Amino acid sequence: MKKFISIFLCVTLLAASALAFSGCTGAKELNYSVVLITDGGTVNDGAYNESAWKGVSEYAEEAGLTYRYYQPVLEDDKLNNDTVLSYIDLAVQSGAQYIVMPTSALEVAAYEGAQKHNDVKFILVDGMPHTAESDEAVRADNLMCVTFDELQSGFLAGYNAVVAGNTKLGYFGEYYSDASRKYGAGFVQGAAYAADQLGIPATMKYADYDSPVLDYNYSFTITANYAKIEDIDEKVFKINVVNGIGSGTYTEGSNVTLIADPAPEDKVFDHWEVKSDTDGVKDSKVNLSTKSKTTTNLLVEKCDATITAVYKDAENATFPLTIMNNTNTEPYSTQYLAVGDYEITAPAAESGMVFDHWEIKDYDSPELVLDDVNSKNTWVHTGKDLLTLIPVYAKSTVPTFDVTVITGEGGNGESTGSGSYVTGDNVSVSAAVPQDGYIFTHWSNADTYGYGAGISMANEYYPNTSFSMVNRYQSVVETMYDEGVSIIYAGGNNECNVVSDATWNYSYLKEAIGSENWQADWTHYYSTTTKDYGAAIKLCLAEFAGGTTLVGDCANNCIAMTYVAEENTDSYDAVYEALGKGELNPAVLADDEDVTAVLNSNCLTLDYWVVEE
């Protein structure tokens, strides 16, 4: 019901805004011949929607037609198909003769809208219509599609990269993406054509991050490092935490977080008790931020100290809260709690898995006990029953990366934080207590190949810290840069953003080539292959042919590079024209072929990149 009301409200508001726009002319004059429905983005997004709107507005102005756009409201940052259909109905009510829909996000809505309104002409740009149940394209007599020639786009990118002076190139693609395979095949052939034309040797490292022949280990290790106290120049002091964590040897001025252990049965935390262990230093010199909370901060001053978490009898009974481990085979933690609200966190997932939801043993309604059963960090409301919470995990639909936390020489016990994480996860790590005569110094990280993992810790010199999990696919790109590649083409895939991200770790001499319009204005891209939605839409509006597909390419000026150095424009223009006339015909990869099948060059050497463990 909420969704229906939301959609109805959006449509009502849009209708009201249209009436307000018309002034006193009357509803019968509210006719818009051409209507653009965006994919939820704005018409000044600097990318596909803006390009589409430019094409609609230019054609309508030239043809003397009325026009407007609708921007569907997103729900939780997602485009709802029913919402889009309501905008299609509104456009038809406003007299639309043409409805233009950009990007593949609108494929299902375009199909369903064309079926419902068969007297209206639909144009779907950069996508193919299909039902909600199948990805198989379905034609309609009143729907015209636009696709773009990624092979020619990639060719332009490869050619432009080499004539700009790059002789060590890289390609980062997606093996199971048809578009990315075309970008890659074109990039290889364009670079080879330029190298042969100029007579200069060039190399290219080529990696599909999901390729079955790419044996890259994306995991990494974080190490807690220690040093002998006798090798430390600063004064150090020993802190002993009883019934809690935070024990260790620290330098003066360190700020240490102390956390009390869970209270025993029928007990509750009462206070921290402090004692100076250094002769001549009073207990009052042991500086805690608070003594009344289970988590406190210690400012280490000029004394050793013992700090004890003290518990008292609970006024009312306490009840055990058990959280099972990530395989539901044994308890991960058990604590006794009084009636109240407490924050909980699920254990880290196993490799390839991700947290899915909570279940409660012998309890039918977990939503009455947990604020959010689908969040691994949530609040639990304890009642008068024992609770066993079971974290349930599922195979991840997004990339997961394994982190192993180890204790270096001088540590005593296990350092925690190991697990499988997805990009953006907040990962907490805790170093083991130092052995006698040692002090924790810092965290370090490295992958299998000896390179840093690219993470940024909140405080790498503190034994209990955290970091945000990075997209480890970036490590493939970084390794290419480490091995001398100067420019990498982000080959139109779901992870192409890691190419630009990786350039931030290097000097301005390391560059990226974008493959999609949204990358066009980013200053750290040398150039970008773009699809001109506007030009393609104008062609479709001028000569609409339902049931057909217009291919945007060099012949109709619907693809381009955003930047070509002035001294290279003549050669670039010549290649562009040759592609448009069919004088240059890049080879197409068959489904069972890899990119080596399309390389025929005297000057370009291709390294179809396979990294051995």
Tokens linked to 168: 């060590």
What is residue 611's predicted lDDT score, i.e. its pLDDT?
Answer: 53
Q: Which residue shows structure tokens 């000057």?
A: 603
* Average pLDDT score over residue span 388-411: 93
Q: Kindly report, residue by residue over 94-129, the tens digit of the pLDDT.
A: 999 999 999 999 999 999 999 999 999 999 999 999
> Taking the model in full, what pTM does it have?
0.77
Confidence bin at 29 (pLDDT 50/70/90): low
Count other C-beta atoms under 10 Å from residue 87's C-beta.
Answer: 25
Q: Kindly report, residue by residue over 443-490, the tens digit of the pLDDT.
A: 999 988 888 888 899 999 989 899 999 889 988 998 899 889 999 999
- SS3 label, residue 131: coil
What is residue 522's predicted lDDT score, i.e. its pLDDT?
Answer: 67
Mean pLDDT of the chain, nearest integer: 89
Instruction: Specify whether the CB–CB gap between 377 and 401 falls below 8 A.
Output: no
What is residue 26's predicted lDDT score, i.e. its pLDDT?
Answer: 41
Cα angle, residue 25 at apex, residues 22 and 28 outer, rounded to 5°: 90
What is residue 610's predicted lDDT score, i.e. its pLDDT?
Answer: 61
What is residue 508's predicted lDDT score, i.e. its pLDDT?
Answer: 66
Confidence bin at 601 (pLDDT 50/70/90): very high
Instruction: Specify whether the CB–CB gap between 203 and 605 falls below 8 A.
Output: yes
Q: Kindly report, residue by residue over 206-231, the tens digit of the pLDDT.
A: 999 888 888 888 899 999 999 999 88
Count other C-beta atoms under 10 Å from residue 342's C-beta.
Answer: 12
Residue 30, amino acid: L
Residue 384 scores a pLDDT above 80: no
Tokens linked to 19: 């009436």
Q: Kindly report, residue by residue over 150-165, the tens digit of the pLDDT.
A: 999 999 999 999 999 9
Query: What is the share, in percent, of the chain residues with pLDDT greater than 70?
Result: 93
State the maximum Cα–Cα separation within the chain, in Å, rounded to a whole number. Answer: 94
Query: What is the share, in percent, of the chain residues with pLDDT greater than 90?
Result: 69
Tokens linked to 586: 């890049």
* Average pLDDT score over residue span 544-558: 97
**Rounded Cα distance, 38 and 72, in Å:** 7
* Average pLDDT score over residue span 386-402: 91
Q: Kindly report, residue by residue over 424-452, the tens digit of the pLDDT.
A: 999 999 999 899 899 999 999 998 888 88
